[in-house]
Amino acid sequence: MKGYSITTLNEFIIRRQANIPYAKGELSRLLHHIGIAAKVVNKKVNKAGLVDVLGEAGNINVQGESQQKLDVFADMQFTAALSDSGECCGIASEENQEIITFDDDLSKDGKYIVCMDPLDGSSNIDVNVSIGTIFSIYRRISPRGDKAQLIDFLQEGNKQIAAGYIIYGSSTMLVYTTGQGVNGFTLDPSIGEFCLSHPNIKTPETGSIYSLNEGNYLKFPEGVKKYVNYCKEEDKSTKRPYSLRYIGSLVADFHRNLLKGGIFIYPETASSPKGKLRLIYECNPIAWIAEQAGGKASDGKNRILDIKPETLHQRTPFYTGAHGMVEKVESFI
């Protein structure tokens, strides 16, 4: 009987590296370490209800949100894995106000920096909703051998070398791109490997799912209100009314729309004039994946990946998903 032929994440990374001239394995090693940290975090997330990681760690993170123990754990695991890789000279994390530089000689010589949200949607942990890790990799600008600098982290999203997310849901998946399309790997716990399950993901040109927090409707800009009403109008030709699907966990909402076709919107509101989501470690990586899968990502007017970051934790309005649906909401704005 023919064996169950699987392509593990590591085999895939090495195979893809062979296609990149001058690739000497640094990025492959970095991605490999991210995969390891994902497995360690997954183990903890899966037992979150049992092991004493629930409840608030008592600290308040830079966003003024109470830090749940699991996101502190996830931050530590990814930070350790990236530091151990020897390929990364520093990181920016949602959980830390300032960048973290790795000052050992090996890491200081690293070519890359990583921006990450180690566990997005952590307020969903206690109620067993899917949560996710989001990461974005850049080549450093500052000289190798020096400590990483802030300028390394304030590059436009169009300079990303790799971007991805891990979704800890009914199964655990790692989805990433290095600019040659989007591929999804599902963790097989019986062998402890991420296995290629969704090769070359392409998101539908349009869809019938819209995702946004309608509780903020009265604070939305007029164009967004018009689009929400458009989604609710009867029109057989465009399969409206659409279905509202909103989990309140960016990775889970985005991943469902990526596969089924839909749009995710977190607009600016009166109380959050720049929106809620952060540009460098939430919107840029998700935006690149959306584009690589044939979709679109904007702030309502400008391509997300062309926005020049000014500060580490800056926020942006975020419209992403099916190309046709993003264009439609932009026409209302």
Q: Please report, as ranges, the residues that interact with ligand P6P according to CB under 6 A.
A: 120-121, 123, 213, 248-250, 276
Q: How far is the CB of 129 from ligand P6P (least distance, A)?
A: 10
Amino acid letter for position 261: G
Q: Of 29 and 276, which CB lies nearer to ligand P6P in the complex structure?
A: 276
Determine the 3-state secondary structure of 132 from DSSP. strand
Torsion, Cα of 98, 282, 125, 78 (10° steps): -50
**Residue 243 C-beta: closest distance to ligand P6P, Å:** 17
Nearest approach, Cβ of residue 121 and ligand P6P (Å)? 4
For ligand P6P, which is the closer residue by CB, 61 or 79? Answer: 61
The CB density around residue 185, as the number of other CB atoms within 10 Å, is: 27
Tell me if residue 133 falls in helix, strand or coil.
Answer: strand
**Chain position carrying tokens 């990374």:** 13
Q: Closest approach of Cβ 146 to ligand P6P, in Å?
A: 33
> Are the C-beta atoms of 324 and 257 separated by less than 8 Å?
no
- Residue 165 Cβ vs ligand P6P, minimum distance, rounded to whole Å: 11
Rounded CA-CA distance 154/285 in Å is 14
Decide whether 88 or 277 has the Cβ nearer to ligand P6P.
277
Q: How far is the CB of 167 from ligand P6P (least distance, A)?
A: 11
| Cβ proximity to ligand P6P, 17 vs 213, nearer residue | 213
**Which C-beta is closer to ligand P6P: that of 18 or that of 218?**
218
Taking the least distance from each CB to ligand P6P, the nearer of 139 and 219 is: 219
DSSP-assigned states of every residue in 20-60: STT--SHHHHHHHHHHHHHHHHHHHHHTTTTTTT-SEEEEE
Q: Is 290 helix (H, G, I), strand (E, B) or coil?
A: helix
Distance CA 205, CA 12 (A): 27
